[in-house]
Structure 1
């Protein structure tokens, strides 16, 4: 079903709702293929989150209730209600900051949307094929809203993974529940009412927690809409609605038609696509990491100074010269570049067992300076350029600039082999090789299997 634009005066969320609820909506095979790879990656990062010292923070929401009244969880024992299962699994998916992102959304779509639709499918007996299709619909809605809201929305301090992700979670859940257009619109309007999340949370557990709340809120919005709850049709454009509050602009000044161009024929999962992370830390550090890795390996004692140049929009939340925790270190470009210079990469072990306080890390941090780079700012992609210059004790100057990290270029998803290898590395400490392979094959070959089939394979052995 192709919507080149909305009828004159029709609210944006109403147009989205008609598309989401349409019986003619068809998901192309290449979109499903990209969706499966993104889901595989997120299942891997969620299971891998057991490495984090913050893994058990959500334990108050886990219980041992009987099947039929609660859902099993990804990679952990216990059960939870449908919305709490979405919350817990979403928190785990984002906890390592190793989950995917998406350029239009300027956030992390799969960590919010996939746990939401998985929880609803497990509750209502939906197939994994239904999960994939609902996930694709949710990503599309979130990406298209991000297209008209960003970069201003991001620059104002909102955390789009949560504030925009909630719409994707609600859209996907509504599709999975088979809501009609009116109730789907209500779910989206409720998502607007439930939206929250701030960038001040970066470097603390509030960040994955607010992503988890977005997933839970999306589920709740869809279930409440099914039960008859309502919201304003024009909750997005209203004088005191989402766009005015979250953008500080007249909604009529926003390019609303941009959100609808090619709807149903052009899919965000394919272009610009999903960005799969190669390093378990903030994506704003990745171009600098790649620049540093190209200069590695170096020895700490041979380095006199490290100069990192970043776009000021990136520098604002990753210029952290003295990270205070493993989580804080994930947002320190100084620390992540130091690891890349010494080892040629950055891995999960660099954020465990107080590695950020090791002697070589402390010495490298003392030698590192961060400054703004002179770069254009015509698009979000322009903001990811980074350079690293190393001055050595013997007088050499080593330099490398990376315009954009691998896998982040529009339309160029990280190769499937690398995504699979990342998944296998994440789950290796927790799943036997044969079970990890069975889970991988189930996700990549998704058909009529149930959400419960996937969840059972993720359980601790």
Structure 2
């Protein structure tokens, strides 16, 4: 009889050896933590963030784990929900292409909330993240392409299971409790791309963390679930992935090098959906080549991409800043008009500018036939005088192939803090995160506490 997928994941969690994690891999994980936290700091003032904090405060006694932006204490599930929602509110947090989603914001809020309650060593938290990331990407490789195309939001519908695995590792749960926690998570998993462009998209990221902690907490008390919850006839794969075979990928769990190196983490340069970023890289290159180019000179823009590259871009004519984050038309128009795409690009007023709305229909987007990989984008700008500018982009800046330097990442953090939490010293926070393999997790919280 085939060993159930949950059993294989539990075996990986309980047999994981931190000695197999390289110093470079720890640094990648620490960078991901820094990026997640600064994106939450930048997102603190967003309506979704304010409302989820208001909700959490109304749920009962405080205590447990801190809200990164305010320092107040909430029960750990609520703290993770709040921090995860804030971390994804601007859609500026890191990405994994094999996941087609955002792994770090689905795991670190839960890990930090849990780690705070046990006064965890920083290295233990990063080990747990590596475990969760491995589970995320192995599941994604087995099922994500059709799963995502059908409308599931893989940041919550897949990465939730990675969050469970990460938290189970941090607590060193026994095998049976790991299996039960995964099944309890299946009882809660959801997340729809229909919610993109609304407050519920970042909520889905926050919920991935909260449900992971709930699953772990119940499993520790003896709450059970089906050992076949992932791959049984009526289990997760059957319902969420048309019965995709999980076994081959689950058998690869823990193969060296780990997925944190092979799958990689991609740091966003622009605060909107990653599906726009290749096109924006090309457009920024063209603006550098033609510094006098203005929106008024452009007749039309044609974007051609690889198959399924634009699936998350569901708004052709956005009317709000959140909708603009999922619109190629707006990304291109804003870049041409403003010569940049930054945090302020996604105010509602910026999207509703008359010159923006008038130009949106002049941007066309088309996907090529399969295959889906390798990924690429081609930009064709036709000027009113008939001149045509063309740029093709294969390698994406910020990807694992062309990663941002530590200095560039810290600069992003400085910008995020200035936007949302100016009292936090981003450089000091980066030092705390980057030194985490040799420090207590509490060093990160100390760096988040503004100096008097």
Normalised by the length of structure 2, the TM-score is 0.92
**Residues 32-56 of structure 1: CA deviation (Å, up to 9, x unaligned):** 1110011111111110102424330
Over aligned residues, Cα RMSD in angstroms?
A: 2.3
Who is 1:147 aligned against? 141
Who is 1:83 aligned against? 77
**Residues 321-357 of structure 1: CA deviation (Å, up to 9, x unaligned):** 3112110000010111112233443111101252111
Q: Secondary structure at the match of 1:200?
A: helix
Instruction: Name the CA distance, whole Å, in 1 between partners of 2:5 and 2:276.
Output: 35
Instruction: Name the CA distance, whole Å, in 2 between partners of 1:79 and 1:333.
Output: 39
Who is 2:265 aligned against? 274
Instruction: Name the CA distance, whole Å, in 2 between partners of 1:434 and 1:284.
Output: 30
- Cα displacement (A) at 1:429: 3.8
The correspondence for 1:331, drawn from 319, 326, 330, is: 326
- Cα displacement (A) at 1:236: 1.2
The answer to whether residue 429 in structure 2 is matched with residue 400 in structure 1 is no
Structure 1 unmatched runs, 5+: 1-7
Q: Is the 8 A contact 2:301 2:380 kept in 1?
A: yes
Who is 1:21 aligned against? 14
Structure 2 unmatched runs, 5+: none
Who is 2:448 aligned against? 458
The answer to whether residue 27 in structure 2 is matched with residue 33 in structure 1 is yes
Who is 2:381 aligned against? 390
Q: Is the 8 A contact 1:271 1:411 kept in 2?
A: no
Instruction: Name the CA distance, whole Å, in 2 between partners of 1:411 and 1:404.
Output: 7
Who is 1:236 aligned against? 230
- Cα displacement (A) at 1:125: 1.9
**Residues 181-217 of structure 1: CA deviation (Å, up to 9, x unaligned):** 1111211221222211111111111111111111100
Q: Secondary structure at the match of 2:156?
A: helix
Normalised by the length of structure 1, the TM-score is 0.90
Change (3 A) 1:432 1:367: closer
The correspondence for 1:373, drawn from 359, 367, 370, is: 367
Instruction: Name the CA distance, whole Å, in 2 between partners of 1:179 and 1:96.
Output: 34
Who is 1:3 aligned against? none
Instruction: Name the CA distance, whole Å, in 2 between partners of 1:389 and 1:434.
Output: 42
Within 5 A, what are the aligned runs for 1:269-418? 269-296=260-287, 297=291, 298-311=293-306, 313-352=308-347, 354-370=349-365, 372-377=366-371, 379=372, 381-382=373-374, 384-408=375-399, 411-418=401-408
- Cα displacement (A) at 1:12: 1.5
- Cα displacement (A) at 1:454: 2.1
- Cα displacement (A) at 1:414: 2.9
Deviates more, 1:134-143 or 1:185-194: 185-194
Q: Secondary structure at the match of 1:345?
A: coil
Q: Is the 8 A contact 1:373 1:386 kept in 2?
A: no
Q: Is the 8 A contact 1:126 1:450 kept in 2?
A: yes
Instruction: Name the CA distance, whole Å, in 2 between partners of 1:70 and 1:261.
Output: 36
Q: Secondary structure at the match of 1:428?
A: helix
Instruction: Name the CA distance, whole Å, in 2 between partners of 1:120 and 1:283.
Output: 29
Instruction: Name the CA distance, whole Å, in 2 between partners of 1:218 and 1:133.
Output: 17
- Cα displacement (A) at 1:290: 1.5
- Cα displacement (A) at 1:119: 0.6
Deviates more, 1:354-363 or 1:305-314: 305-314
The answer to whether residue 57 in structure 2 is matched with residue 62 in structure 1 is yes
